[in-house]
Amino acid sequence: MLVLGIVLFAIGLLFSIAWHELGHFVAARRFGVRVPEFMVGFGPTVFARQRGETSFGIKAIPLGGYIRMIGMIPPAPGERIGRSRRSGPFQGLIDDVRADSAKDIRAGDEDRQFWTRKPWQRIVVMFAGPFMNLILAAVLFIIVLMGFGIPTAQPVVSSVSKCVVPASQATTTDQCPPGAPLTPAAQAGFQAGDRIVSFDGRSYDSWADMQQAIRAASGTVPVVIDRPLPYGGSRTLTLYPRLIQTQLLDLDSVQNPSAPKYVTGSFLGLSPIQPVTRQNPVQVAGYVGDMGVRAVQSILALPAKIPALFGAVFLGEQRDVNGPVSVVGVSVLGGEVLASDNPVAGEIAFMLQLLAAVNVSLFLLNLLPILPLDGGHIVPALWEAAKKRIARMRGRPDPGPVDMAKLMPVAYAFAVVIMLYGGLVILADIVNPIKLPL
C-alpha cells in the first residue's frame, strides 16, 4: 500500500505539472504562437508522439515540465544575421540564449514567435500555467471540504481534564500529580457529552468562536449546558477559569498534530468533539484563503529554513515537520497516508488535500518575479506595456520589446540556486524524511 500510495501521488503530481503546461499551451496556441514541444519532466525523453506541429512527451526526471514556444527571446536591436558568438562570459551566454530561441524558427514563422505578441497576450500565456494550478487546487479543496468534510471542533464536550497541569506535562491518565488542583471544568461538574448552549450569556455555533471567549474569561462564568440521557436536561454550571498555558486548537494544529501550538489564557479543562463535517461554500472560500496566506508565509520563510535542512541532513537533527518538502518527500507522504490504518475515505481526502496544497504552492512559486519562473516573464511584459504607453502619451516612437536575453545571466544564477536548494530538500527527504503522525 505504501508503494501504491507513492505511485498514485506521483501520478497526481505529474498530472498537476501537465495541467500547468496545458494552460501555457492552450493560451499560446490561442494567440498564434507555434509550440514545437510539450514535455512533462526533464532530461532524456522516455516517450514522445507528434501531434500536428507539437511533440508531446514524458522525460526521465519528473521534477517539472515545459512547453517550448518559438521566439521566446527577441532579436537584439540591429542584430546582423550570421553574427559570430561573442567571447565574453555574459555576452556569450546572451548570444547562446538568442541562438537557442531562434533555432526552431522556420520560413513562415516570422509572425508566430512569442516575443511578437502584444504584452498583454504574453502575460496571459505566462499566467495561464499557474492559474491552472489554482483552478485544480480549488477543485480539489471543494471535493475534500464539501464532499468528504474535515474534522471540525463543535461546542460539545468530548472529555474533561481532571487536573490543572502545564500542557507540556499533560497526561492521559486520570491520576493528578501531587499538588495539582482540579480543573475548573472538573470542579463545575462537566461530563463528556454535554452540549454547551451558552457561555457567559452568549451562544456559540462553533468551538473556535467560543474558544476566544474562554481565553478571555475571568471571575465567575455561568455556562448553560444540555446533558444527554439518562441524566438529560438543561442546567447551569458555574466556572472559575484559571490562567494557564493551553494548546491551541486551530486549523494548523488539526493538520499538524505533531507540532502543537500553545497560548496563554484562561483554561477550563474541556476538549471538544471533532466530527468530520462537510463545509459550505463560504467556509471553503475561507479555508482556501487561509491556505494561500500560509503558503505565502512558507515561501517567504524558505531561506530561513536552510540551516534546519542542513542540520537534518548532515547533523542528524530532528526534521522540521513544517519545513519544505520535495516532490520525492511529498510522494512518500502520500504513500504513508494510503498505507495507514485510517478509514479509506479519510486517506483519500488527505491525499487530495495534500495534492491541492502542492498546487497552491506551484501557483505562488511560479509567480515569483524571477526568471526562469513564469513571473519572471510577466514582469518584463508589464514593463514593456508601461514603456509603450508612456511613449504614446509623449508622442514618441515605440521603444520596442524588452531585451529578455540580458536577464539570462541572472536567470541562470537563480536556476543554480533553485537546483542546489531543491537537491538539499530531496536529500533531506531521503536521509531524514518527515513522518506523519498517522
| CA contacts within 13 A on the Cβ side of 131 | 11
Secondary structure of residue 355 in the 3-state scheme: helix
Please name every residue paired with 151 in a beta bridge, in sequence order, or none if there are none: 276
Q: How many CB atoms lie within 10 A of CB 227?
A: 18
Q: Report d(CA 102, CA 84) in Å as an integer.
A: 15
Query: Cis peptide leading into 372, omega within 30 of 0?
Result: yes
Find the helix packing angle between 408-431 and 327-339, rounded to 10°. 30
| CA contacts within 13 A on the Cβ side of 224 | 9
Question: Are β-strands 157-160 and 270-272 bridged in parallel, bridged antiparallel, or unpaired?
Answer: antiparallel
Q: Which three three-digit cell numbers place residue 62?
A: 519528473
Q: Which residues are catalytic?
A: 21
Q: What's the Rg (C-alpha) of the chain?
A: 28
Q: Report d(CA 288, CA 363) in Å as an integer.
A: 13
Q: Which three three-digit cell numbers place residue 269?
A: 479543562
Do 327 and 318 touch, CB atoms closer than 8 A? no
Do 101 and 72 touch, CB atoms closer than 8 A? yes
